[in-house]
Amino acid sequence: MATGNPGFESLRPMLAPRSLAVIGASEEPTRIGGRPVQSMIRQGFAGELWPVNPKRDRVQGIPAYPGIDALPGVPDAAVVAVPGALAEQAVEALGRRGCRAAIVFTAGFAELGEEGQAAQESLVATARRHGMRLLGPNCLGLFNAPLGYYPIFTSAFDSGWPLEAPAGRGRVGIASQSGAYGTHLFAAARNRGIATPILITTGNEAEVTLGDAIGHLAGDDGVEVIACYSEGVREGPRFLAALEAARRARKPVVMMKVGRSALGASAARSHTASIAGDDAVTGAVLAEFGVHRARDTEELLDVAYAATPRIYPVRNSLGVVSISGGAGVMISDVAEEQGLPMPPMPEAAQDRLRALVPFSNPANPVDCTAQVFNDMSMVGAFARSMVEDGGYASLIAFFTSVGGSPALAPRLRAELNGVKQDHPDRLWVLSVLASPEGVRDYEADGYLVFPDPSRAVAALAAQGRFGEAFARPPRAPVPLPAVSLPATAPDEAEAKRLLAAAGIAPVPEATAASAEEAVEAARSICFPVVMKLLSPDILHKSEVGGVLLNIADEEAVRAGHATLMANAARNAPGARITGVLVARQVLGAVEVALGITRDPVFGPVAMVGLGGVFIEVLRDVALRRCPVDVAEAEAMIRSLRGFPVLDGARGRPKADIPALARALSALSAFAAAAGERLVSVDLNPVLVLPEGEGAFAADAVIEIG
Amino acid sequence: MATGNPGFESLRPMLAPRSLAVIGASEEPTRIGGRPVQSMIRQGFAGELWPVNPKRDRVQGIPAYPGIDALPGVPDAAVVAVPGALAEQAVEALGRRGCRAAIVFTAGFAELGEEGQAAQESLVATARRHGMRLLGPNCLGLFNAPLGYYPIFTSAFDSGWPLEAPAGRGRVGIASQSGAYGTHLFAAARNRGIATPILITTGNEAEVTLGDAIGHLAGDDGVEVIACYSEGVREGPRFLAALEAARRARKPVVMMKVGRSALGASAARSHTASIAGDDAVTGAVLAEFGVHRARDTEELLDVAYAATPRIYPVRNSLGVVSISGGAGVMISDVAEEQGLPMPPMPEAAQDRLRALVPFSNPANPVDCTAQVFNDMSMVGAFARSMVEDGGYASLIAFFTSVGGSPALAPRLRAELNGVKQDHPDRLWVLSVLASPEGVRDYEADGYLVFPDPSRAVAALAAQGRFGEAFARPPRAPVPLPAVSLPATAPDEAEAKRLLAAAGIAPVPEATAASAEEAVEAARSICFPVVMKLLSPDILHKSEVGGVLLNIADEEAVRAGHATLMANAARNAPGARITGVLVARQVLGAVEVALGITRDPVFGPVAMVGLGGVFIEVLRDVALRRCPVDVAEAEAMIRSLRGFPVLDGARGRPKADIPALARALSALSAFAAAAGERLVSVDLNPVLVLPEGEGAFAADAVIEIG
């Protein structure tokens, strides 16, 4: 177990110790302190196993020790399975002896509220004092199967142990915040023939977090694919570093992050009692690193399984050969939804195939018809042409129960293998209904087997996205502006000055201290103009009558000034009025909102959405951690469902999308540079003019904490 | 096989004949004419089996006949497996002898284009002349397993025959336009332990259509659930009657209809060469009858499997008991997305459960924690409280590999069975990882078993929707107005008069033949007004400068009239001008579009969508066959993603939704009454005022064919 990623070395004693003490070891193999001992005896733990039990000389047949001080050596790691306050005492005693890692099963900490939280903090402080890493408390433990190392309490092994990987296949490491769900994933993976050598469950995450666990798997040479389950990421920096480490190591990460619905989020809060980042922000972070966010267990396993051949096409495309036109249509539906291209076969190749089977339809999907029953060599000819002439990176061969027919399957297999052996770089799915043994045979030949072709499409599409994420060069750092926030929330004009200095253009405007200054300003800006009250004490100007539109001439400017002053005196009597803002009224622009919020875990987050119904009714926004460069900002804009509005829908001219992307990137850099006092920024609207004419912030609110 | 639905009696000889002739029977069991003979010999066909082969006395060991005239009696049905033109000769000879049903395997008909189409029409004409029903041509056939009746050509039986249903479980009949996919469905269902006694594949559907097949299954007492696969519905009336027959018989219909994407639709066209209705219209028809439209094979099987206990709760709700808080969160996410309510347990019951397991979280999802390992009776106590205190119609018990543990599973099963036996009316899912034998045991106890809880939620939600569809009283007929369409397309004013007579109010308006008449009209209507050119020759007025807005006074009316006339003379020189329309300019309304299109299969279809980006960018529309009553019209409106815009979003007053629903229903009745000459109606915009103030068509275009 070489650890290629130095940042995560510190979990090594916990994952691969030379010796393990079990504090609270039980003679009874199904008890919490008995399961680890039983499992490690059965599976032949490669290190020293030292049960600690004050009442017994032997536990489950091996020598036991009355206390931590009586151990025959310093344990690299220890399971702590003693109740309540004894847990901290055990950690203290282990620390004094020089143990490096504690796996704490004991419950009754932060999951019970304030008092438990205090006990948990004390426990962690004890571990840290001794330089120990601590998993849990209230965790199920972990396993590292190749070492026979099972410091874990679960009944999942009653129906089988982790599998070894078939030759040439990647192994899947599992990191899970939930113990029960983590072992469920392991067992479900085993039932599908997937090797899962390592499982880490993080429980209350008082010290070791999901990020640590993923980071370890990213660096552990015993694992090629990473599957995760999360109820809410509690800690940002190590999580981000881990995802980047996995990306650089070309290890796909597949994650189920629950709590995406209102009901689910509320259930997650009551289950984990954790302060976690916003679900949508977490989703944006996962997308940023090319993590596949799975909707359910089966999708998670599908994608992880399809990652085991370790073929991640950078330019993915799908070719389909089938004996059912219907299946081809169904696959085409899913491929389009998944954004997986299915280009047609070259015309010349189609002509050759039609010459072979006159009524076939060899465009893609390629239906080779029931003719194959008469002449199975057609399958080989069609498949070879798809690979060599079509050049598809991914292929699905739909042969349903033909693939499970004792009479036909061997011929089918021989035909396909002939092609596959010449082209080992392609991702091949067989969609067949075969016995478990039949499936294993096909898998040994190197195929992925999916009974349901729709699920295969989604899993193949994911491999292409992994390939794209792996191929992406590390992002150049976004240059940050110098930002010096004022002591309190700035008024609109000051906010715009701050943002303009960071590269975000406001609508042409000027401040005026008097009615005549306002006339002067309007004259230089060009009519029509907008007039607004300026006050550091008024956040929402329109609510106090502080915004006037469509001011067409100088007389109207004077009248408007008087109106604004009167409205301020009447509706916001205590507010300091610093003047009025006179701004060009921009016509013919698309209104967009840009914003910054601060996520408790991931820090400042940039947001873009179209104005009007798109944000308020459809919640159509794109999010990204700050800062984002211009290319990523443009990708955010293009991901909006309402993007066609900017792109010339409904007979409008195309909007200046590059200018909007520059503004979004600049705003994100501003937020990244501004530090923790920046609570939020709201630019609403930003007016996006036609191509080449720019994007201008018409309003700006900066909140300071 | 009683047939409870008299409209579909005519397929009985084809599905359950006393005698079957196989024209083109082959000695070779894997050939197209050999498979049916082999299968029926093996499975013991309950009727007479008469192979016809001019060259052999015996086929596969049973007596054969040299020709149709030599048969020992009149066959109720016949398989036709002879090539090309011989097929029609066989049908003719069968018809002359009095045979009632032909199952035509022969290919080379409409799927090959025009010439094949002509041959197919001739074939059907021959069958009809003799009063025969005809399946195919180019079909795989059908089976009716309880009779040992297998007139079908497939290799799917190489790995097993259709199953019988476990006691108490419903049986699933399959109707499929695709032969290969139909048998794939059968084989996949068999692999999941689902009984599928009947499969009908319809091939080219020259005579017997998908609607006939579904209708037969709706009336066949050997089937309780109907699973379908469609690439495009070709025939409307029997399809609609079949879905209504299934609904009345309380038989859920689950359908995969492929071709929902652009790519898929194009693949479907090249596969089936059929003129089929619009996919979105077909989707609306399925929704109307409570059909579950499945996205993939697995969802289809999930929903059909979950229908086999035949419990269809009218008021569905979900209770979840688990040993994993994480699984509870995941289930909550899916339940919210599926619209399946998960109300909390009553407070008093929660208190009682907390007294049993102090740190449990018994709201719903109910996490009974790892305590169950110490005391399995907790599972029974928690489950009983959920059923009796919580009153949930559907329940999921998530016990992952505990349910497959040889040590723990028997105790778990005993605890749950204690509750289940007292409450057989609930729909129970066990989400467990167990061996195939373990799954069968749980199923024999009456549970549905799903390894993945997310999929279980979707399948349970579907059962509630079936319950709602079954409970719905048959709709009262919508009264139709008397409609007499003009000979050619009416101008806007005439179109509005026609629609007003049918109950759709236009914006207050009047026509005027001169400038002074226009002034008079504007005065009585109230300013501001809109003025539009009237011409039967101009469909899109705004393109010729034929629409003027914001006309504020009498002088502007006179000027506007001159402008309109000048624009007409310049931009549409040949057009007949019948005057101008003067209409109230309605302010503060929500703009909605209502429309009618004519689907080639299902006839006139009503459409509603919000104006602006909703239709053009987001394609957010609701469709329904005409006519729809007011309640269904309102349901269409409420199903729009943009519905919040009508419902008071963004600080607007709520719009007059009842008035809009009345207008939509009236429009649909108009279309239903208007007959086939009505090509389309476009009311865009309809201006919906605040509650109680009405909805008015501001424009109307009627196309006549």
For B191-200, the pLDDT digits (tens) are: 999 999 999 9
- A 643-672 near B (Cβ less than 8 A): 644-645, 649-650
Shortest distance between the Cα of B297 and any Cα of chain A, in A, equals 6
In chain A, count H helices and then E strands.
Answer: 24, 28
- Kindly state whether A457 is in contact with chain B, defined as any CB-CB distance less than 8 angstroms: no
The Cα–Cα gap between A352 and A600 comes to: 61
Average pLDDT over residues A338-356: 93
**Where is average pLDDT lowest: A53-67, A578-592, B253-267?**
B253-267
Residue of A nearest to B642 (CA): A617
Phi, psi of B98 (to 5 degrees): 105, 10
The residues pairing with A320 across neighbouring beta strands, listed in sequence order, are: A396
CA distances from A539 to A546, A681, A699, B194 (A): 10, 12, 11, 64
Q: Please, which residues have CB within 8 angstroms of residue A484's CB and are 6 or more apart in sequence?
A: none
Interchain proximity B645–A617, CB inside 8 Å: yes
The per-residue b/e assignment along A623-657, b for 16 or more CB within 10 angstroms, e otherwise, is: bbbbbbbeebbbebbeebbbbbbbeeeeeeeebbb
**Where is average pLDDT lowest: A108-117, A464-473, B71-80, B385-394?**
A108-117
Percent of chain A with pLDDT over 90: 73
Q: Please, which residues have CB within 8 angstroms of residue A200's CB and are 6 or more apart in sequence?
A: A15, A135, A142, A173, A174, A175, A176, A182, A213, A216, A217
Interchain proximity B330–A30, CB inside 8 Å: no
- Kindly state whether A205 is in contact with chain B, defined as any CB-CB distance less than 8 angstroms: no
Long-range CB contacts (within 8 A, 24+) of A269-275: A270/B361, A270/B363, A271/A231, A271/B325, A271/B326, A271/B328, A271/B329, A271/B361, A271/B367, A272/A111, A272/A177, A272/A231, A272/A232, A272/B325, A273/A110, A273/A111, A273/A113, A274/A205, A274/A231, A274/A232, A274/A234, A275/A234, A275/A600
The Cα–Cα gap between B170 and A621 comes to: 46
Interchain proximity A177–B329, CB inside 8 Å: no
Chain B neighbors of A112, CB-CB under 8 A: 359
In a 3-state reduction of DSSP, which class is residue A383? helix
- Kindly state whether B367 is in contact with chain A, defined as any CB-CB distance less than 8 angstroms: yes
Interchain proximity B111–A359, CB inside 8 Å: yes
- B 398-417 near A (Cβ less than 8 A): 400-402, 404-408
Q: How many CA atoms lie within 13 A of B687 on its CB side?
A: 17
Cβ neighbourhood burial of B187 (10 Å; 0-12, 13-18, 19+): buried
End-to-end alpha carbon distance in chain B: 47
- B 132-171 near A (Cβ less than 8 A): 154-156, 158-159
Distance of CA B159 to the CA centre of its chain: 32
**Length reported for chain B:** 705
Distance of CA B449 to the CA centre of its chain: 26
Confidence of residue A3 (pLDDT cuts 50, 70, 90): very low
Mutate one of A177, A332, A366 to test the B interface: name it (highest B CB count within 10 A). Answer: A332
Q: What's the one-letter identity of residue A118?
A: A
Residue B111 has pLDDT above 90, yes or no: no
| pLDDT on residue B188 | 94
Cβ atoms of A94 and A101 within 8 Å: the answer is no
* Helix, strand, coil in percent for chain A, rounding step 5: 40, 20, 40
* Helix, strand, coil in percent for chain B, rounding step 5: 40, 20, 40
- Kindly state whether B504 is in contact with chain A, defined as any CB-CB distance less than 8 angstroms: no
Q: Where are the beta strands (DSSP E) in A212-371?
A: 225-230, 253-257, 292-293, 318-322, 366-367
The average confidence (pLDDT) of chain A is 91
Q: Write a three-state SS string for A109-127.
A: CHHHCHHHHHHHHHHHHHH
Distance of CA A450 to the CA centre of its chain: 25
Q: DSSP characters for A30-98?
A: TSTTTHHHHHHHHHT-SSEEEEE-TT-SEETTEE-BSSGGG-SS--SEEEE---TTHHHHHHHHHHHHT
State pLDDT tens for residues A173-227: 999 999 989 999 999 999 999 999 999 999 999 999 999 999 999 999 999 999 9
Q: Which residue's structure tokens are 């899993």?
A: A459
**How many CB atoms within 10 Å of residue B570?**
10
A401: nearest CB among B158, B178, B649: B158
Q: Where are the beta strands (DSSP E) in A566-648?
A: 579-584, 590-599, 603-610, 621-625
Q: Could you tell me the sign of the dihedral formed by the alpha carbons of B608, B614, B616, B621, in that order? A: negative
Cβ atoms of B504 and B580 within 8 Å: the answer is no
Q: Where are the beta strands (DSSP E) in A425-487?
A: 427-432, 448-449
| pLDDT on residue A357 | 79
| pLDDT on residue B402 | 87
Shortest distance between the Cα of A73 and any Cα of chain B, in A, equals 33
Interchain proximity B267–A188, CB inside 8 Å: no
ipTM of this complex prediction, to 2 decimal places: 0.87
Mutate one of B400, B411, B616 to test the A interface: name it (highest A CB count within 10 A). Answer: B400
- Cβ contacts below 8 Å, chain A against chain B, sum to 277
Confidence of residue B75 (pLDDT cuts 50, 70, 90): very high
State pLDDT tens for residues B657-699: 999 999 999 999 999 999 999 999 999 999 999 999 999 999 9
Tokens of A367: 């239906």
The per-residue b/e assignment along A360-396, b for 16 or more CB within 10 angstroms, e otherwise, is: bbbbbbbbbbbbbbeebebbbbbbbbbbebbebbbbb
Interchain proximity B359–A112, CB inside 8 Å: yes
The Cα–Cα gap between A100 and A13 comes to: 6
Residue A276 has pLDDT above 80, yes or no: no
| pLDDT on residue B82 | 96
Residue A275 has pLDDT above 60, yes or no: no
Shortest distance between the Cα of B524 and any Cα of chain A, in A, equals 31
Interchain proximity A180–B327, CB inside 8 Å: yes
In a 3-state reduction of DSSP, which class is residue B564? helix
The Cα–Cα gap between B697 and B88 comes to: 56
- Kindly state whether B453 is in contact with chain A, defined as any CB-CB distance less than 8 angstroms: yes
State pLDDT tens for residues A574-583: 888 989 999 9
The Cα–Cα gap between A42 and A161 comes to: 10
Tokens of A648: 């010339």
Chain B neighbors of A338, CB-CB under 8 A: none
- Kindly state whether B115 is in contact with chain A, defined as any CB-CB distance less than 8 angstroms: no
List the strands of the sheet with A529-534, edge to edge: A509-512, A579-584, A529-534, A547-551
Cβ neighbourhood burial of B636 (10 Å; 0-12, 13-18, 19+): buried
Interchain proximity B401–A158, CB inside 8 Å: yes
| pLDDT on residue B388 | 96
Mutate one of B154, B159, B333, B359 to test the A interface: name it (highest A CB count within 10 A). Answer: B333
| B302, containing H or E segment | helix B297-307
Tokens of A200: 């880490």
Tokens of B478: 């919508």
B155: nearest CB among A260, A295, A408: A408
| pLDDT on residue B55 | 95
State pLDDT tens for residues A420-476: 999 999 999 999 999 989 999 999 999 999 999 999 999 999 999 999 999 998 778
Cβ atoms of A625 and A597 within 8 Å: the answer is no
| pLDDT on residue B549 | 87
The Cα–Cα gap between A655 and B124 comes to: 58
Tokens of B517: 């008449």
Domains of chain B: 6-307 (3.40.50.720), 318-471 (3.40.50.261), 508-584 (3.30.1490.20), 590-704 (3.30.470.20)
Shortest distance between the Cα of A281 and any Cα of chain B, in A, equals 17
Chain B neighbors of A371, CB-CB under 8 A: none
Mutate one of A176, A184, A255, A338 to test the B interface: name it (highest B CB count within 10 A). Answer: A184
Chain A neighbors of B435, CB-CB under 8 A: 159
Chain A neighbors of B111, CB-CB under 8 A: 359
Average pLDDT over residues B458-464: 97
The per-residue b/e assignment along A75-101, b for 16 or more CB within 10 angstroms, e otherwise, is: bbbbbbbbeeeebbebbebbbeeebbb
End-to-end alpha carbon distance in chain A: 47
| pLDDT on residue B346 | 95
- A 534-573 near B (Cβ less than 8 A): none
- Kindly state whether A588 is in contact with chain B, defined as any CB-CB distance less than 8 angstroms: no
The Cα–Cα gap between B577 and B567 comes to: 11
Is the peptide bond between B309 and the residue preceding it cis, with omega within 30 degrees of 0? no
Average pLDDT over residues A77-82: 97
Tokens of B133: 């029903």
Mutate one of B258, B269, B435, B437 to test the A interface: name it (highest A CB count within 10 A). Answer: B258
In a 3-state reduction of DSSP, which class is residue A103? strand
